[in-house]
Structures are given as structure tokens and as C-alpha cells.
Amino acid sequence: MPESLIIAPQWIGDAVMTEPLLRRLQARGERLTVGALPWVAPVYRAMPQVAEVIEFPFAHGGLQFKARRVIAKRMTGQFDKAYVLPNSLKSALLPFLASIPQRIGYLGEARVGLLTHRLKNPKNKPPMVAFYSALSGEGDLQDDRPQLHIADADITATLSQLGLQRGAFVVFAPGAEFGPAKRWPAAHFAALAAKLDLTVVLLGSGKEAALCEEIAGPVNAQQPGKCLNLAGKTSLPQALCLIAASRSTVSNDSGLMHVAAALGVPQVAIFGSSSPLHTPPLSDKATVLWLKIDAAYQPPLDCAPCFERVCPLGHTRCLNDISAERVLRAL
């Protein structure tokens, strides 16, 4: 059985969208080991086709050549192939230093000598599942949908720890790492939470704790205990369990949006500056709200998608004009 090393992307959403590729590689007989950064590794542990996950001790930024060379030395002779999923120079360095015979990836940034099999960089922004799946060499698999699997025992344990019951709460994921032009306003999230008849669990990183409190604080002042702010208080495996056990989720275009889709949870995904044509939640249970294509919003919002971190026009109407009532109807 060929041994293959997968160099994983660094963002949760991107990691989820690599799952169809990994499923195809495993189905054709490759044994998969994923090398991932610690905050992404739990996503790959939720993929049954992955035999092993190695957590890389790399930090954001910098080449960190010495650390990569040390790990590469340990890996020498262990793998037949490497699939380099990120497009960066540094991500292709470790398989090269480990002398893995076949090193497959997109041309990326100045990687001609580091990869043995190179795909041309797409000119436009293709759907990300198709982008990653093309590395299998068997077509883009555009219609394939990511799937994650969480052990029922893990879900039960997490719910017990937090005093929650399966299906008795809605998850809000109000953050978006990219910037405010991807975040539905906190006041809108709060208005939606106040209208729901279920507990609202807010998930996010520690950096998003204050944002989540902007939502939870006003609601809890009127309805004590209605919102549970767990931003920065749960591990990623616990967050996966909570999403899997939720009645439904509401999120921006973010990593947790893709997690909910891959777990088959009913969801509403709110898009602003980005495009669901590029990074949609791939699930029959997902409803996308995007004013660029919303027939009820006239005239259509022509400035979307701008792919900017902050609205260049200063109004962020692509998000502000999506009301809590509109999301409630979608739920």
C-alpha cells in the first residue's frame, strides 16, 4: 500500500474542503498521513480515511527552515508521495527535504524545483473542493461534498461537561478571521437570538470572545441564561461536537460554516464580501443568504463580492441589509 503524506492547509474551512480529495486517495489504496498545524489537526481526526495525523510545531509566518529540516529528516524513507495542499513555498519545503519521490501540488509561489508534479494555478477562483480534488489527477470531483464523522461517545461527553442536551440549542458562529466585511453585525445576531425559543451557544476563538459577548450580553440581560458564550472556552474537538449536536447553526462564511455543512447540520450561512460560488457550504441542509443573488432584494447588490476585509464603500450593506427576521425565516 503506497504511503502518502498530506501537507494540510492552515485554515479550518480549507481543511474541511480537502476531505473529498483524501477520500478519493484512500479509496484507490493510498495510506494517508496528514501533517497539520495543531489548530487544524482535529478536523483531520474527524476523517476516517486518515490513518495518522502529525501535528507540526510551526508558527504563523517565517520559513522556519531548521524546524522543517529536523522533521523532514525523521520522515525520510517513510513516504512514496506527498500532496502539498497549500500554495506557499514553505509548505513544499518539508517533502522536498524528506526526499519523497513524488511531490504533487499547484505551481504556487516559486516551487518549480520543489515539486515533481505541478498543476497550473487557476486563473479565476474555482470552487475550493474542486481546486483540491484536482490534485488526485482524476478530475475535479466538483460535485463531491465534504463529510466529517464525530464519535457519538465524544458528543455525549462534551454535552455532559457543558450541561447541554442534544438538539436543544442553536449554535451561532459570528466570527470570521478575514475581517468585518464577512461578519454579520453583532446587533443582528442578538436580535435573532432574542427571537429564538432555544438556548443559543456562541462559538469562536478567544479573539472572538468580546464579539460574542456583544451578542450574549444584551440578550441575557432581558432573558437570563438564553445565550451561552463559549468563545475561547472550548477546544476545537468540543466545538465540532457541539455543532454536530445542535438543532441548527447560523454563521458567516467561516471555517465553522464548513464544519456544519460537513456534519450535515441544518444551517444558515450569511455571505457578505465573499462569494458562495467560491466557498459554499456543501450541504442539502444549508441555506445561503447573499444579497448578490437574493430575488427579494432589489436591485441586486452589484458591489458584491469585493473580497475586501473592510467595506471599501463604507456601508457594508451586503450584511447590514440582511435582517434578523430574514435569517429567522430561513431557519
Encode 90-108 in three state secondary structure.
Answer: HHHHHHHHCCCCEEEEECC
Residues written for the chain:
331
Provide the grid cell at 244: 454536530
Cα(217)–Cα(276) distance, rounded to whole angstroms?
A: 31
Q: What pLDDT sits at residue 139?
A: 65
Cis peptide preceding 299, ω within 30 of 0: yes
For residue 102, what are the β-bridge partners?
Answer: 81
Provide the grid cell at 158: 462534551
Cα R_g (the chain), whole angstroms: 21
Cα(230)–Cα(245) distance, rounded to whole angstroms?
A: 15
Query: At a CB cut-off of 8 Å and minimum separation 6, what does 95 contact?
Result: 5, 7, 72, 79, 82, 84, 103, 114
Amino acid at 1: M
CA distances from 135 to 94, 104, 270 (A): 18, 7, 29
What number of helices (H) and strands (E) belong to the chain? 13, 12
CA 114 from chain centre, in angstroms, equals 27
97-119 residues labelled b (16+ CB within 10 A) or e (exposed): bbebeebbbbebeebeebbeebe
Whether the CB-CB separation of 144 and 133 falls below 8 Å is answered with: yes
> Grid cell 450541561 — which residue?
163
Query: DSSP for 286-316?
Result: EEEE-TTT-TTSSS--TT-----SS-TTS--
Whether the CB-CB separation of 185 and 83 falls below 8 Å is answered with: no
Q: What pLDDT sits at residue 142?
A: 55
Cα(140)–Cα(137) distance, rounded to whole angstroms?
A: 8
Q: What pLDDT sits at residue 200?
A: 98
In a 10 Å sphere around its CB, with 0-12 CB exposed, 13-18 middle and 19+ buried, how is residue 320 labelled? middle
Q: What is the largest CA-CA distance in the chain?
A: 63
What domains are defined for the chain?
3-136 (3.40.50.2000), 152-330 (3.40.50.2000)
Per-residue pLDDT of the chain (331 residues; tens, 9 = 90+): 899 999 999 999 999 999 999 999 999 999 999 999 999 999 999 999 999 999 999 877 667 888 899 999 999 999 999 999 999 999 999 999 999 999 999 998 788 899 999 999 888 878 899 999 999 998 655 558 999 999 999 999 999 999 999 999 999 999 987 788 899 999 999 999 999 999 999 999 999 999 999 999 999 999 999 999 999 999 999 999 999 999 999 999 999 999 999 999 999 999 999 999 888 999 999 999 999 988 888 888 889 999 999 999 999 999 999 999 999 999 9
Provide the grid cell at 163: 450541561
